[in-house]
Amino acid sequence: MSTKSASRHPQWGGRFSEGVDAFVARFTASINVDQRLYRHDIKGSMVHARMLHKSGILSLDELNAILSGLEGIQADIEQGKMDWSIALEDIHMNIEARLTERIGGAGKKLHTGRSRNDQVATDIRLWLRDEIDEITAEIKRLNHGLLRLAEKEADTIMPGFTHLQTAQPVTFGHHLMAWFEMLCRDAQRLSDCRKRMNVCPLGAAALAGTTYPIDREYTATQLGFDRPASNSLDAVSDRDFAIEFCSAAALLMTHLSRMCEELVLWASAQFNFIELPDRFCTGSSIMPQKKNPDVPELVRGKTGRVNGHLIALLTLMKSQPLAYNKDNQEDKEPLFDTVDTLKDCLRAFADMVPNIKSKPETMGEAARRGFSTATDLADYLVRTGMPFRNAHEVVGKAVAFGLKTGKDLSDMTLEELQQFSDTIKADVFDVLTLEGSVSARNHLGGTAPEQVRLAVKTALASGNY
């Protein structure tokens, strides 16, 4: 390991008698990670400069030079002309040093009344706010596809499961609407997170505020925040907004993972309920018959990655005293990767789900197995006046008979059913069919095709998904 020292730091080296060790410079630098914040860093710096001019700290000429210089730096970055320096540590110092090179002494005045502590806290909030908006839009695109597919599959009957055992018949459209409800809550959580996050740390400076006559209300308004952060210590040191986001992201990924598990099961030869589009699957190098559901499997796997990032951020913050600590440099990689992973998974789902093809005959046949209308028979008996517990016992005996004879309830004759209760009449077959079973659950939240179509119509009309 080299112990060679670099030169003294141009932005803060005045207090030090020797340069930073070359390894330490690399170890402590974050520029390879945080350079993706450049747009938001420049945006924050422009508003800060305008505020300094408004407060009489910068002249008009200095302001114009700073704004022009920052615009030029952004163009250089976007054209790949920016040379990032590890010696300058981070995005903030790289941009400030480049600005001073371009416009001279006025560039050194930009940092008046702020610190990298409030600067990075502001940058991350600005960046994450934009990312939440993009993620929410992708959830809405996925949900729109779900709604259209649910409408199309409102009459398609499939088995509903508990414990992965056949329970009662439902419609495929109703099942898809359950996914829709999960994702709606995910979008609401992200919206709530955005509201709490949307306060401006700029002006908190290092930890105690600043002696300069700054206008924090102006800065917050110009950057689109709801208000300035109320406490300077809290503003620079806490990352609970990032943790809250990662928590919402972990829940969203958990929902996607559950959907993936069902897609993988349903696409298997054993279930054969659906067919996934070829472009979202892969084959085998030695088994030519294979069609592997790689996209759902990979999304399911990436859930663990996002969960891990949440734990990493919680652990990062758990023992930090106020105010800012270098530990917080470690907040960006898990946060950035969570956002990237979430966006990729949502994009894959939004493109894949509307193109899923159901297999109604296989689904219906599966629903006919497993005595899925047993509860309907019990409800029928209750309506004749029989107590539910007695009805439960009667149906249990009928199921036992069916297991012995290999007959489903709907395949039994009236005489066979009447051996368990003489209250059973010919109209029992109206409730023992799959269609009769799902249609009978015609209430808000029920699986009846009419209710599925109504739920889809209501959601599309509201646009609040």
Q: Give the list of residues 6+ apart from residue 191 with CB closer than 8 angstroms, or none.
A: 132, 136
The one catalytic residue in 2, 163, 230, 285 is: 163
d(CA 449, CA 402): 29
User: Does 284 qualify as catalytic in the annotation?
Assistant: yes
The one catalytic residue in 5, 68, 191, 284 is: 284
Tell me if residue 162 falls in helix, strand or coil. Answer: strand
d(CA 396, CA 378): 9
The pLDDT-based confidence of 288 (bands split at 50, 70, 90) is confident
* pLDDT tens column, 128-144: 999 999 999 999 999 99
Q: Is residue 14 predicted with pLDDT exceeding 90?
A: no
Label residues 277-314 b or e (16+ Cβ within 10 Å = b).
eeebbeeeeeeeeeeebebbbebbebbeebbebbebbe
The full 3-state SS of 165-195, as one line of letters, equals EEEEEEEHHHHHHHHHHHHHHHHHHHHHHHH
pTM of the model: 0.91
Dihedral angle sign, alpha carbons of residues 59, 61, 62, 64? positive
Counting beta carbons within 10 angstroms of the beta carbon of residue 325, is it exposed (0 to 12), middle (13 to 18) or buried (19 or more)? middle
d(CA 172, CA 157): 6
Would you state the CATH architecture of domain 21-112?
A: Orthogonal Bundle (1.10)
Q: Which CATH number fits domain 369-462: 1.10.40.30, 3.40.50.1000, 1.50.10.10, 1.10.760.10?
A: 1.10.40.30
Q: Taking residues 210-236, what's their average pLDDT?
A: 98
What are the structural domain ranges in the chain?
Answer: 21-112, 117-364, 369-462
User: Does 111 qualify as catalytic in the annotation?
Assistant: no
Q: Domain spanning 117-364: which CATH class is it, in words?
A: mainly alpha
* pLDDT tens column, 159-210: 999 999 999 999 999 999 999 999 999 999 999 999 999 999 999 999 999 9
Tokens 């609407």 label which residue? 177
